[in-house]
Structure 1
Amino acid sequence: MSNIAAHDTASHKDAIRMSAFIGSTAAPSADTATGRTRRPLIGITAGTRTLTDGAWAGYEATAVTTNYTTAIREAGGRPVILTPGEVWSADELADLDGIVITGGTDIDPARYGADALPTDFAADEARDAFEIELAQAAEENGIPVLGICRGLQIINVARGGTLIQHLADEDLAYPRSDQQLTEVPIEVDADSDVALALGTAPTVSAFHHQAIDALGRGLRVVARHASGVVHAVQSTSGAPVLAVQFHPETRADAAELFARFVGITSGSRAVAPSPKMATVQP
C-alpha cells in the first residue's frame, strides 16, 4: 500500500485507553443519530496467491483463510478484508474498529536490518509494506490490533524490533513447527489478556520457523515456551495491541481470544474521529 491516510485524534486515543483491553463479550455499538446498532468492523489483512488450475490459472487472487473471518464473525464482529495496494482515506480508516494482521510468509529481513538466509521463505514486499504501514498507523491513531503469527512479527518489526530468522539453527529445545501445525505448550503471565482468555498453561497450535528476537518499542512479553521462544506480546500503553505467535483461529478452545479483542474494539467508536489527517508512507 503506497498510502494510508489515518485520522489523528487525541480524544479517540483517550477513549481507547479508558476501555480495559480485558473486554467483555462484544455487543453491537449504538448509532445515536439513527438509533441503529452495528457490529464492530474488523479489518483482516490478506495476501495474494496465484491460481494454479481451471480457467483462471495464472491469475492473482486475494487470499485469507476463512478461519479468520469465521472467528471474528462468531466473536461478534464484522470482518472486512484489507488487501495490499489499497489506498485508505482518513474517513475510511476511521471506520475500522480494529485490525487483525494475519499469518503468512516471512518478512523481508532487510526490514529489520538482517541479511537473507537460505532458510528464508520468499518475502512478499507489497504485503510487507502494506502491513508494516498499517501497524504503524494503528499505533499512531489509537486503533486496536490483534496480530497472529506473521502478524506478531509484523507488529514487532514495525516497532523497531528484530526476528530470529530460523529457530532450528538456534540452540533451543523448541519443537519443529515449520512443516505443519504443531501443538506447543506455553507459559503465560497471569497478568495478561492471553491468560484471561486461555489460562496460564495452554497448549496452542503453532506453524512458524521464526520468532521475536529484540522486542519492539511499547511491547511486553506475556507468553513464552519453556525454551524462551516468545509466544505473545501486549502493548504497554496507548492503543491496545495483542499479538500471538500461534494460530488461535484454528482451535475452538481459543475462541475467547477473539471475543475479548472484538469486545474492546466496540468501545473504540466512543468518540468520532477528528478531521485532521496524517499520511503514513511505507
Structure 2
Amino acid sequence: MRSIWKGAITFGLVNVPVKVYSATEDHDVALHQVHDEDGGRIRYQRRCEICGQIVDFEHIDKAWAGDDQIVVLTEAELSSLPAERAREIDVVEFVPSDQLDPIMFERTYYLEPEGRSAKAYVLLRRTLEATNRTAIVRFALRQKTRLGALRVRGDVLVLQGLLWSDEVRTANFSALAGPVSVTDRELELSGALVKSFEKDFTPEEFSDDYQVQLRALIDAKLARGDSRETHTTPEAGEPASGGEVLDLMEALRRSVDASHRRSSDTG
C-alpha cells in the first residue's frame, strides 16, 4: 500500500506520528464508453464554454458560482488555507463507542505508526480498547475539513470519516406517522423467522455476483476471439474528430487521479 499523507494524532501534549492509507479499494471491472461501429473510445473534452477551446488541467481553477458572478480560486490560494496545510488529526473528545451511529460513517483509513518507536501508537490503541471509547477527531484531507472517528481494528488504529450532523437527513414518512398495530402472534412468528436465519457474520462468504459474471463474460468473449484492436487516441489538448460526446465517468476518474497525485506529492 502507498500512504496518502503523513501527519500526527494530537491530544493534549501527546503527539503520535502516523502514515495514512486508504483501507478499502474498488475491484469492480472498469468499463468504458465506445463507438458501437468501430470500438473507438468516447473521450471527455475539457472545453471552455466561453472561448470554445479545450483546456489542459494546468489552466483549470476552481470557482464559487453565485447568481450572476463567480469567484475564481487558484490552487495556490486553496492550498494556503490553514485547514489544508494542517497535518494533524486533532482529538476533540473520547466518546462511548456505542454512541456512534453507523449512518454517519464515510471512508475508512488505516493509520501506521511512523518512526522508530511505536510506543505512543500502541499506548493510544490499548487505551481505547481498555476504555471502550472512540476518539472524535478533526482532520483535513484533499482541501476539506473533516470530522472523524478514531477507533481500534485488530492491532491497528483506523480513522473513519464522519458526516457532519446537518448532512444526515431526517426520515419523516407519513406511513409511520400514526400507530401501527402488531399482534403478539405476528411478533412471535417474525422472531421465529429471524431465528431460522441466525448465523455469525463471515464477510468472506459473500461475493459480488455481478462482477464475477461480468468478468466471466469478458473472459469468454476473449477466448473465442470476440474482441477488437485498440486504436491510437488523440493527444491531450487535441480535439477528437467527430461529435463532441462527453464521458462524465472518465472526467471524474481523471479528476480523482489528479487529486490523488497532488495529495501523494504533498505527503
User: Which entry has the higher C-alpha Rg, 1 or 2?
Assistant: 2
TM-score bracket for the superposition, by shorter chain length: under 0.3
Give the structure, 1 or 2, with the largest relative contact order (CA under 8 Å, sep 6 or more): 1
What's the TM-score once normalised by structure 1's chain length? 0.20
What's the TM-score once normalised by structure 2's chain length? 0.21
